[in-house]
Amino acid sequence: MEALKNKILNEGTVIGSEILKVDSFLNHQIDIKLLNEIGQEFKKRFAKNEITKILTVEASGIGIACIVAQYFNNIPVVFAKKHDSTTMDNNAYEAEVFSFTKNKKYKVRTSKKYINKEDKILIIDDFLANGNAALGLIKITRQAEASIVGVGIVIEKAFQNGRECIENEGIKVESLAIIKSLIDNKVVFK
C-alpha cells in the first residue's frame, strides 16, 4: 500500500535494527485519513470473505480495528484485554502471550459473551513481529470455536518469524507494508 509505505519512509524512525517507531501516525498520534485508506485496503483484501467480527488487542489495535470495521458494514470490534480489571468478566477466554519486545509474559482475555461459534473472525493488529500477540488471539478464537478468516496486519517485519507461525496454523495473513530490513537506520520494503 503506497500511501502507508510513503508515510513510513517520511515519518518512521528506526531504533536499533529491529524496531520501527511510527508514533506520528499509528501508535501515539493517529492519522485518520490514512486509517481510512487502511480500512479500504483490508476490505479489498478480504472482499470474498464473510466476516462477522473483528478481533484485536489493546491498546494500539483498537483504533485501527474501529476504522477498519466501518468498511465491513460496521461489524462489532472485540478487543482482548491485557490488564486485570475489576470490571473484567470472569467468564472469559484467555491465552498467555510472550512479548519479545518487552521480554515478559502477559495474558490476553476476552469475555465469552462476545465471541461465539457462529462468528467468522478477522484478526487485526498494528505490527507483526514474532506473531505472539496474533497467536494469542487465534487461541482465544479457537477456544470460542469460532472460525478465523485471516489476520490483517498494518506493518509486518518480515525478518521476524510471525508470518510463518500464523501460516503454520493454516491461517491467511495480509500485511499492508512488509519490511525486509531496518539495518543502518534504513527501512527496506520487501
Question: Using the rule CB under 6 A, is 27 a contact of ligand G4P?
Answer: yes
Question: Using the rule CB under 6 A, is 9 a contact of ligand G4P?
Answer: no
**Distance between CA atoms of residues 37 and 44, nearest Å:** 11
DSSP state, residue 18: T
Considering only 154, 162, 166, 176, the residue that binds ligand G4P (CB under 6 A) is: 162
Question: Using the rule CB under 6 A, is 99 a contact of ligand G4P?
Answer: yes
CB of 160 to ligand G4P, least distance (A): 7
Considering only 52, 65, 131, 137, the residue that binds ligand G4P (CB under 6 A) is: 131
CA 108 from centre of chain: 14
- Nearest to 25, CA basis, from 3, 7, 40, 13: 7
Strands 173-181 vs 147-157: parallel, antiparallel or unpaired: parallel
Question: Using the rule CB under 6 A, is 59 a contact of ligand G4P?
Answer: yes
Question: Using the rule CB under 6 A, is 19 a contact of ligand G4P?
Answer: yes
**Distance between CA atoms of residues 34 and 81, nearest Å:** 25
Considering only 6, 13, 17, 101, the residue that binds ligand G4P (CB under 6 A) is: 101
**Distance between CA atoms of residues 52 and 147, nearest Å:** 10
Q: Binding-site residues, please?
A: 20, 27, 129-133, 157
CB of 111 to ligand G4P, least distance (A): 19
Question: For residue 107, what is its C-alpha cell?
Answer: 495474558
Residues lying near ligand G4P in the complex (CB under 6 A): 19-22, 27, 59-61, 99-102, 126-133, 157, 162
